[in-house]
Amino acid sequence: ISVTDLVNESYTRINAVEDKVKAFITLDEENARAKAKELDELLGTDEAKGLLFGMPIGVKDNIVTKGLRTTAASKILENFDPIYDATVVRKLEEAGSITIGKLNMDEFAMGSSTENSAYNKTRNPWNLDAVPGGSSGGSAAAVAAGEVPFSLGSDTGGSIRQPASFCGVVGLKPTYGRVSRYGLIAFASSLDQIGPITRSVEDNAYLLQAIAGHDPQDMTSYPAEVPNYTEALTGDIKGLRIAVPKEYLGEGVQEEVRQSVLDALKVLEGLGATWEEVSLPHSKYGVATYYLLSSSEASANLARFDGVRYGYRSPNAENLLEIYKKTRAEGFGDEVKRRIMLGTFALSSGFYDAYYRKAQQARTLIKKDFEDVFEKYDVIVGPTTPTPAFNVGEKISDPLTMYANDILTIPVNLAGVPGISVPCGFSNGLPLGLQIIGRHFDEATLYKVAHAYE
Ligand code: GLN
């Protein structure tokens, strides 16, 4: 099999299903085919190396790609061609993979259904009436539909794990600092992480291996060696101690979802693990804390989109102030505006102590809940989401119901620990995800458990 064959297969599948799934914003077919030819020349020589040699990959459209349009699914970046590659994109290139195109998402990664894209609405390949989840809905749907075997997403409050769960694929949010954020269009810088979405746990480990590691261009990246993740895939989880937070199986969690987690725990017990119920008492403050902090950070990060530096500029402006105002009024969608307003309010001097500072304090308590549990247990297990995928249109007009969908993924970002979602059954024909959460920088144990289970 040649690299050209792999790339052909990807575009053939895209041509067959993309008008229904709509996972991509931009395809890069000409370049991908040219690159495949180049790599084929190397086949059979010593140059044919790299962890992902010849592998087609899709990249979420908030990760910058040199010369390849990058929109973050916003009108404000509709004509933005970055002048450099994100570190993860450079690393993929070094690993020999081929970028097939840029994947749809909620605008600036704000959302849980990919309905907030300024371009199109991605559908769930398992049921086209259902959402794929979000914000990395394109990344999860493209893998689930077989358009690409690998994709990158980003996760600020669940945006890799929730769509992976809704689409029946494997998605990992690495520890904060494990993967460079250089070239990721910032939403909430203290929470954002790039991570891999794949069909199997093994593929996921390969992709993390390729992108992980210290980067001098991201001062929050972690300066230590990256372990060999595939060595963790032993299948041996004898003696593993699992904690199951009672908050993760309680009120608001659908019965089928609860049952699927209990069934998964039986499988893990059968493999020699033990589990006990624990409590993460502050997780009930997770959603409120997250929306205050992430919106505050977003309001600062999105100040750079002013009609001068990048992308769209309103044609209706007559002076500088009007350029700012009209560009932003016309360029940002409703959800993004809502968050900028909330964040600006929470950071304003009269309200800072009541909201932003309080939220920071709550974050510390949430983080401490996890630290306490990890003193006695190796991993935390629960559902990724309280329900399977909902229908397109069902929640879009009610932001608070939409936000509540992230209740089980958000605390993980606030604590900075890693989490993975692996498929664990179905409810009503739609996939469910098992979430496994680990200690800081212990992705290897997550892969070990997920692989033993899958
Ligand atoms: N759904 C959450 C939000 O809307 C999480 C998004 C994310 O992880 N990027 O903010």
Q: State the pLDDT confidence band at 370, using cuts at 50, 70 and 90.
A: very high
Q: Would you state the pLDDT for residue 66? A: 98
The yes-or-no answer on residue 135 being catalytic is yes
Q: How many CB atoms lie within 10 A of CB 50?
A: 17
189 is catalytic: no
pLDDT at position 404, please? Answer: 87
Q: How far apart are CA 440 and CA 343, in angstroms?
A: 28
What is the whole-number distance in angstroms between the Cα of residue 79 and the centre of ligand 1? 24
* Segment 227-241 mean pLDDT: 97
- Model confidence at 13: pLDDT above 90: yes
Please provide the average confidence, as pLDDT, over all residues in the chain.
97
Spacing, Cα 121 to ligand 1 middle (Å): 16
* Catalytic residue from among 10, 97, 113, 135: 135
CA terminus-to-terminus distance, the chain: 28
Q: Whose CA is nearest to atom 5 of ligand 1?
A: 157
Task: Please give the Cα distance from 305 to 74 (Å, whole number).
Answer: 11
Give the span between the Cα atoms of 398 and 394, in whole angstroms.
9
Residue with tokens 């409590």: 279
Residues near 84 by Cβ (< 8 Å), separated by ≥ 6? 64, 66, 183
In this structure, of 260-274, 319-333, 393-407, the range with the lowest mean pLDDT score is 393-407
Catalytic residue among 10, 22, 35, 60: 60
Specify the range with the lowest mean pLDDT, choosing from 2-11, 95-104, 252-261, 396-405.
396-405
Alpha helices in 348-415 (DSSP H): 358-376, 399-404, 410-415
**Residue 337: other Cβ atoms inside 10 A:** 13
**What Å distances lie between residue 311 and 67, 76, 92, 340, 421, CA to CA?**
13, 6, 26, 19, 35
> Of the residues 74, 159, 294, 299, which is catalytic?
159
Closest CA to 161 of 417, 381, 353, 422: 422
The residues that bridge with 57 in the sheet, in sequence order, are 99, 150
Taking the CA of residue 410 as reference, the ligand 1 atom at the shortest distance is 5
Q: Best substitution site from 60, 106, 136, 181 to test ligand 1's pocket, by max atoms within 8 Å of Cβ?
A: 106
Residue 224: predicted pLDDT? 86
Query: Which residue(s) pair with 278 in the sheet?
Result: 245
Q: Tell whether ligand 1 has an atom less than 6 A from the beta carbon of residue 172.
A: no
Whether the pLDDT of residue 251 is over 90: the answer is no
- Asked whether 159 lines ligand 1 (CB < 6 A), one says yes
pLDDT at 68 over 90: yes
The answer, yes or no, to whether any atom of ligand 1 lies below 6 A from the CB of 112, is yes
Band of residue 272 on the pLDDT scale cut at 50, 70, 90: very high
- The sheet that has 430-437: what strands, in order across it? 24-27, 98-103, 56-60, 150-155, 193-198, 170-173, 419-427, 430-437, 379-383, 241-245, 274-278
- The mean pLDDT value for 67-77 works out to 98
156 lines ligand 1 (CB under 6 A): yes
Q: Is the CB of 157 under 6 A from ligand 1?
A: yes
Per-residue pLDDT tens digits for 401-445:
899 889 999 999 999 999 999 999 999 999 999 999 999 999 999
* Residue 149 dihedral angles phi and psi, to the nearest 5°: -80, -20
Query: For position 19, what pLDDT does the model report?
Result: 98
Are the beta carbons of 157 and 191 closer than 8 angstroms?
yes
Query: Which pLDDT belongs to residue 364?
Result: 98
Whole-number pLDDT of residue 311: 87
Query: If you average pLDDT over residues 224-248, what whole number do you get?
Result: 97
